[in-house]
Amino acid sequence: MDNLFGIPMPLIGFACFILAAVFVYVWPKPKARENRSMWLNMGLHHLHPLTWVLLGMAAFLHIRDAQTATIIAILGGFSFLFFLVLWIRTITR
């Protein structure tokens, strides 16, 4: 399968890379009264774009090696899960 819902995988890969670039620059800074640790701030800022980069890589690799692409996509899913845990932890404080 070289497409997902009729969309070619290279096009999905490019879209994922564009989303990653957007999230690197758009992610909001912490509020002035909010005190986050360096690791929490880095995790919130970089894990979401990392997820999109990994998914984009998986989309491009899917054409050559589906098993490697699946592993990279799963790593992207774990990255997103870890991002969600950090984000929920931040908003529930």
Q: Does any domain span residue 6?
A: no
Q: pLDDT category, 1, cuts 50, 70, 90?
A: low
pLDDT, one tens digit per residue, over 21-73 is 998 888 766 666 667 777 787 888 888 899 999 999 999 998 888 899 999 99
Q: How many domains does the chain have?
A: 1
What does the pLDDT average to over 69-92? 91
Q: Does any domain span residue 3?
A: no
Q: pLDDT category, 18, cuts 50, 70, 90?
A: very high
Domain holding 65, by residue range, is 20-91
Report yes or no on whether pTM surpasses 0.85. Answer: no
Q: Which residues contact 69 (CB under 8 A, 6 or more apart)?
A: 57, 58, 59, 61, 62
Q: Does any domain span residue 48?
A: yes
Residue 77 has pLDDT above 90, yes or no: yes
Residue 17 has pLDDT above 80, yes or no: yes
Q: Does any domain span residue 60?
A: yes
User: Does residue 69 contact residue 62 with C-beta atoms inside 8 Å?
Assistant: yes
Residue 5 has pLDDT above 80, yes or no: no
Q: Does any domain span residue 62?
A: yes
Q: Does any domain span residue 13?
A: no
User: Does residue 54 contact residue 70 with C-beta atoms inside 8 Å?
Assistant: no
Q: Does any domain span residue 2?
A: no
